Chains A and B, each alone.
Chain A
Amino acid sequence: MPADRELKKGSTDLLILALVEHEARHGYELSKLIVSRSRGVVKLHVASLYPLLYRLEKRGLVAGRWVEKAGQRRRRYYRITAAGEKVLAAQRKSWREFVAAINRTIKVSHA
């Protein structure tokens, strides 16, 4: 069953920040990682992914940089900023609390 659109909208910031937490990545790499790690549940098209990245960049949570490697076209890599790390930590906490609350409500238990 596909994830609810509203649920996805609120969590995509968290997804992107978590994926660039330890390593700078470019857009295509991010979209592939989202698909592979969510096992196809979450998919971000170009028309969604890049506006999201630009919004996070504008808010100062990620920093984009063009990198030119020998023999390749230049690519724009995104890495998390100090402000982004704070927001990620806060969002992770909120997400855990949210999921726990929902689970309590629908009485889902974990082994």
Chain B
Amino acid sequence: MHNPHDWAGEIRARLAHLALEPAREAEIVEELSQHLDDAVRDSMGRGVPQAEARAQALEELESGDVLERALRGVEQAVERDPVVLGGVKGDNIVVSLWQDVRYAARKLRRTPGFTVVAASTLAIAIGATTAVFSIVNGVLLKPLPFRNPAELVRVAATSRDGRPISMSYLDFVDYRAQSKLVPAMSAYDEESRNLTIANSAPQRLRGLRVSANYFSLIGAHAILGHVFATDDDKAGAAPVAVISEGLWRTTFGGDAGIVGRVVQLNGTPFTVIGVAPATVTYPGKVDIWVPLVPTADDLTPGNRGAHYLRGMGRLAPHASAESANAELAGIAKQLASKFPDTNAEFGASITPLQESIVGSVHTALYVMLGCVGFVLLIACANVANLLLVRAAARESEIAIRSAIGASQGQITRQLVTESVLLSLVGAAAGVLLAKWTISAVHSFGPASVPRLDEVTIDGRVLAFTACVAMLTGVLFGLVPAIHARRANIGQMLRESTGGSSGRKGAQRTRSALVVSEMALAVMLLVGAGLLGRSFVHLIDVDPGYSPDHVVTMSVSLPSGKYKWDADERGFANAVMTQLLALPGVENAALAFGRPLSEDGMRTGFDLAGQPPAPPGQRKTADLRFVTPGFFGTLGMKILQGRDILESDRENSAQVVVVSQQFVKQYFPHESPLGKRIKLGYGWQRSANKSDTLTAGGEIVGVVADMKAQGADHDALETVYLPFAQTPVNEVSILVRSSQPPDVVLNLARARVREVDPDLPLYNVTTMTEAISGSVAGPRFYTVLLGSFAAIALVLAALGIYGVISYSVSQRTRELGIRIALGATRQGVMGLVVGQGMVLAGVGIAAGLGGAYWLTRYIATLLFGVGAVDALTFCSVALVLLAVASVSSWLPARKASRVDPLIAMRAA
């Protein structure tokens, strides 16, 4: 067996006068030494004795200064960068750092394969982190675009169980008059309107009726014209409107003469007095504002129970939301004792406005940020492992630097500089990835996450990304730097083929990093698995109706044109006649309050023949107004009694159909059929009668429950009234047809336009899409966390593969000896795979423990599955064991094919 000779001394002696850079000298020594070793090996292979073979090889170096003279013209003519690692006395830190940066850049350029792999890993992880932080920043952290947004609060009534609900006009007036801690208050009501412009299709506008001080409260000024004056919301004031900047530019073409123009809203003329800036986006995108002028109904004392307004206010200087909340609750209590009939069941609350907007997504978004942080840590572990392997190949370079005077601190600084530079390159690419991701979020993000349109990569996000890049660079850069400090320099300078204690330490560190990666990947996969199962449960919930083959669209009948109940009935009859005549239509209906619509009404009721319930114990139910065929169109089963029929008209006996939940709640031990209920709602408008309260009737049927508000909401007690007996002006049209949805929608749209061409149609969709939209939020979080888990799984698999592969390459000689001594290929494979599986097993165990502790934080996001779900935990463990076995098997197969002869010759 040939023992490599130490040629370094001979070669260095011949290079001494060239005064080469240590790194360059080390390279030349290494290359020439290999040549001479190969020459000796070949000579000995031909039978030349070792000593003679070495002597022959030495002759190749030539005596004297032959090598030096030959190299002098080449090496000393090369202008090397004056990078003197170890520094020059008197250099300041900036100069030294700049030298480190230039050297690091050169080193990274010379190993493009490593640089691309490491930078790509970091780009994906930092890009994902930047994207999620952008969302957190835009939704949760960025202040609202109003004057002193921290002073703005939401004012609301509260239900019996403390939930914020809308308030009545009279209650709002009292709150405003009596509160000292919220001296400025404004109420608003969302009321969409039809805009009719000559020679244009009618348009549905998202409108808001607001108190006159609304714009001054939020500190918004008109960009054209002016906002409402103090008296604009008084009874008898001229109808005026402020339009949004978006509407002004798109519908009115940015007309500079818009101020003073009269527009028709629901058939009523309004004068445009100003254009509001695009920054006014609360609540959501609004197209047009009109003053909240109280009607006679609003001012009627008996209507103090009619809750429909929302409110906002501005805190007095030095007042806190908590103290204002306590004050308003006290005022509500006084009103409850003064007006028990209407106010006994209601309180009031004050919440910081930003919290009221984003509070529902606070937990979910911070959980996502934590999860993407895990991905980043896994990426750091992977890159740290790559750097450790790279550092092993640079041991002699580091040793030489140390030998010629570089301090440990300087070497550490240079290695960390290289890592930080790598991280910054990855971060730059990551920002581009994040930009692309945010565009996708703008297009496909769920409506349930507010302020998504305000998500951008701004200065704060870029600063965050830069900090993350620096920290991750330092984190994974310290790993090889610490090992460099510990390495035995004497051992490194000798050309040794054995494992040094430094190398063993590096192997342990690599193993520890891979175990950490596996643990983090397990936690992410468990989270993704739980959200995935939760989402599957959600979409599997029976909504109580059949959404397939049902299309829907909504219309709002303007009160100017549809003044009387008869007008609304006439519209309904005409539309139904048109729709039922369409080919392929199996059923059709009109309804106020189709499933998943924003329309809703809840009211109290009494059972006929019984005394009214005392305040605080009122019975309540959801109301829906439907035409015959509503239940058939949606495939809802009649459980008792009958459906609503054509014969249930305005002049026949008043009837209602109730839901199964209604029966469970109010008639648990008897049949409700034949019982009569009197609703706290009823409004009949007729040219021949004065307005009267008349709603309710005999219960003639019981229908199966439907989950009107979505799969994760319980079905409510519901009362269905015949549309003909209580018509309303906000309706959804539903059509069940065997034809494809787009065909049905086009035909239905055309038929409705034939009945009234001035009515804009909105919310045009299929019921299947509506259901899909209702779970968009959970889907968004599931997809996001699922993506993180997939990235984590790939990185962890690569991590194990890398560590085992490198270990095999370091153990080639040992494995060759084993095979030479009789070990089978399977035995060697088992040894290598076993090494990988031990790492995986420890990582998985640690990860399951961590998941057990952490999944409680996503419990509020789950539906139908617990935070500690055995099936999910076991499945994740099995998946990771399978992935780890494949990642270990590949290098094990290579190890089993080692040729013992070659392995034993390897240095």
Residue in B27, B34, B59, B894 whose beta carbon sits within 8 Å of that of A45 in the complex: B59
Query: Is residue A8 within 8 Å, beta carbon to beta carbon, of the partner chain?
Result: no
B874 at the interface (CB under 8 A from A): no
How far, in whole Å, are A27 and B35 apart by their CA atoms in the complex?
A: 7
Contact present for A75 and B812 (CB under 8 Å)? no
Contact B74 A76 (CB under 8 A): no
Q: How far is the CA of A88 from the CA of B906 in the complex (A)?
A: 36
Residue ID in chain A nearest B28 by CB atoms: A50
Q: CB distance A58 to B62 under 8 Å?
A: no
Q: Which residues of B have CB within 8 Å of A58?
A: 74, 77-78
A45 near B60 with CB under 8 A, answer: yes
Of the candidates A26, A27, A48, the one whose C-beta lies within 8 Å of that of B70 is A48
B contact residues around A73 at 8 Å (CB): 34, 906-907
How far is it, in angstroms, between the C-alpha of A81 and the C-alpha of B60 when the chains are bound? Answer: 28
Give the complex CA separation of A47 and B7 in angstroms: 14
- B75 interfacial contact with A, CB 8 Å: yes
Partner-contacting stretch, out of A14-22, A64-72, A91-99, A103-111: A64-72
Instruction: Tell me, rounded to whole Å, the shortest Cβ–Cβ distance linking B892 to chain A.
Output: 13
A51 at interface, CB cutoff 8 A: yes
B639 close to chain A: CB less than 8 A: no
* B70 in contact with A47 (CB, 8 Å): yes
Q: A27-B35, A71-B903, A71-B906 are in contact. Are A51 and B71 (CB under 8 A)?
A: yes
Which one, B34, B67, B77, contacts A47 given CB within 8 A? Answer: B67
Cβ–Cβ < 8 Å partners of A55 in chain B:
73-74
Question: By the criterion CB–CB under 8 Å, are B35 and A46 in contact?
Answer: yes
Decide if B77 touches A28 in the complex (CB within 8 Å). no
Interface: B902 (CB within 8 A): yes
The one of B34, B66, B906 in contact with A28, judged by C-beta atoms closer than 8 angstroms, is B34
Which A residues between 9 and 44 are near B, CB-CB below 8 angstroms? 26-28, 31-32
Q: Are A70 and B808 in contact (CB under 8 A)?
A: yes
Complex Cα–Cα for A94 and B62 (A): 31
Q: In the assembly, what is the distance between CA of A31 and CA of B898, in Å?
A: 29
Q: Which residues of B contact A49 (CB under 8 A)?
A: 35
A76 CB contacts on chain B under 8 angstroms: 27, 31
Question: Bound state CA distance, A51 and B20, in angstroms?
Answer: 14
- Flag if B38 contacts A71 (CB, 8 Å): no
Minimal Cβ-Cβ distance residue in A for B4: A73
Residue in contact with A71 in the complex, picked from B28, B34, B75, B809, CB distance below 8 Å: B809
Across the interface, name the chain A residue whose C-beta is closest to B36.
Answer: A46
Decide: A47 near B61, CB < 8 A? Known: A68-B393, A70-B809: yes
Cα-based distance from A68 to B806 in the complex (angstroms): 12
| Complex Cα–Cα for A45 and B59 (A) | 8
Residue of B nearest to A56 (CB): B74
Question: On chain A, which size bracket covers the interface?
Answer: 20 to 34
Query: Residue B790 at the A interface, CB < 8 A?
Result: no
Residue B32 CB within 8 A of the other chain:
yes
Would you call B39 an interface residue if the criterion is a C-beta within 8 Å of the partner chain's C-beta atoms? yes
Distance of A38 Cα from B894 Cα, bound (Å): 39
Write the nearest CB–CB distance from B120 to chain A, whole angstroms.
21
Instruction: Give complex CA distance A24, B378 in Å.
Output: 37
Which residue of the partner chain, among A26, A32, A47, contacts B66 with CB atoms under 8 Å?
A: A47
Shortest A48–chain B CB gap in Å is: 7
A27 contact set on B, CB distance < 8 A? 31, 34-35
How far apart sit A70 and B393, CA to CA, in the bound complex (Å)? 13
Interface residues of B in 98-154 (CB under 8 A from A): none
Distance between A96 CB and nearest chain B CB, rounded to angstroms: 28
Q: Are B61 and A46 in contact (CB under 8 A)?
A: yes
Q: Is the CB of A50 within 8 A of B31?
A: yes
- The reply to whether B62 and A47 contact each other, CB–CB distance below 8 Å, is yes
Q: Which of A26, A28, A51, A70 contacts B812 (CB 8 A)?
A: A70
Q: Which residues of B contact A48 (CB under 8 A)?
A: 70
Query: If the complex has contacts A31-B35, A71-B809, are A54 and B75 also in contact, measured as CB distance less than 8 A?
Result: yes
Contacts of A72 in B (CB 8 A): 906-907
B159 smallest CB distance to A (angstroms): 71
The verdict on A86 contacting chain B, using a C-beta distance below 8 Å, is no
Q: B812: which A residues are within 8 A, CB to CB? A: 70-71
Closest to B902 in A: A71
> Quick one: closest B residue to A51, CB to CB?
B70
For B42, list chain A residues within 8 Å (CB).
32
Q: How far is the CB of B236 from chain A (nearest CB, A)?
A: 87
Report A-chain residues with C-beta under 8 Å of the C-beta of B28: 50
Least CB separation from B816: chain A residue: A71
A46 CA / B56 CA spacing, docked (Å): 12
Complex alpha-carbon distance, A70 and B907, angstroms? 11
In angstroms, how far is the closest chain B Cβ from the Cβ of A62? 13
Q: Would you give the shortest CB distance from B539 to chain A, in whole angstroms?
A: 49
Report how far A54 CA is from B27 CA in the complex, Å: 12
Residues of B within 8 Å of A31, CB to CB, are 35
Q: How far is the CA of A55 from the CA of B31 in the complex (A)?
A: 15
Instruction: Give complex CA distance A25, B885 in Å.
Output: 37
Chain B residue nearest to A65 (CB atoms) is B110
Known interface pairs A54-B75, A58-B78; A70-B31 also in contact (CB < 8 Å)? no
Q: CB distance A46 to B32 under 8 Å?
A: yes
CB distance from A67 to the nearest CB of B (A): 11
In the complex formed, the residue of B with least CB distance to A31 is B35
Q: What is the minimal beta-carbon distance from B503 to any residue of chain A, in angstroms?
A: 15
Closest B residue by C-beta to A55:
B74
Q: Within residues 205 to 224 of chain B, which ones have a CB less than 8 A from any CB in chain A?
A: none
Q: Let me know if A54 and B71 touch, CB within 8 A.
A: yes
Task: Assess whether B809 is in contact with A47, with CB atoms less than 8 Å apart.
Answer: no
- B627 vs chain A, min Cβ distance (A): 77
Query: B876-907: which have CB < 8 Å to A?
Result: 894, 898, 902-903, 906-907
Cβ–Cβ contact A28 & B808, under 8 A: no
A63-B57 Cα distance, complex, nearest whole Å: 26
A70-B894 contact, Cβ under 8 Å, with A47-B62, A51-B71: yes
Task: Tell me the complex Cα distance, A76–B809, Å.
Answer: 19
> Nearest residue in A to B806 (C-beta to C-beta)?
A70
List residues of chain A with CB within 8 A of the CB of B73: 51, 55
Chain B: minimal CB distance from A58 (Å): 6
| Complex Cα spacing A28 to B38, Å | 7
Nearest CB in chain A: distance from B903 CB, A: 6
A51 contact from B67, B809, B902, Cβ within 8 A: B67
The CB with the most chain B CB atoms within 10 A, among A28, A46, A50, A58, is that of A46
Query: Can you report 7 A-B residue pairs in the complex whose CB atoms are below 8 A from each other?
Result: A45-B62, A47-B62, A50-B28, A50-B32, A50-B35, A54-B75, A71-B906
Contact residues of B with A, CB < 8 Å? 27-28, 31-32, 34-36, 38-39, 42, 59-62, 66-67, 70-71, 73-75, 77-78, 393, 808-809, 812-813, 894, 898, 902-903, 906-907
Interface contacts beyond A71-B809, A72-B906: sample of 16 additional A-B pairs, CB < 8 Å, sorted by A:
A27-B31, A27-B34, A28-B35, A45-B60, A46-B60, A46-B61, A47-B66, A47-B70, A50-B28, A50-B71, A51-B67, A51-B70, A55-B73, A70-B894, A71-B906, A75-B34
What is A's interface to B at a CB cutoff of 8 Å?
26-28, 31-32, 45-51, 54-55, 58, 68, 70-76
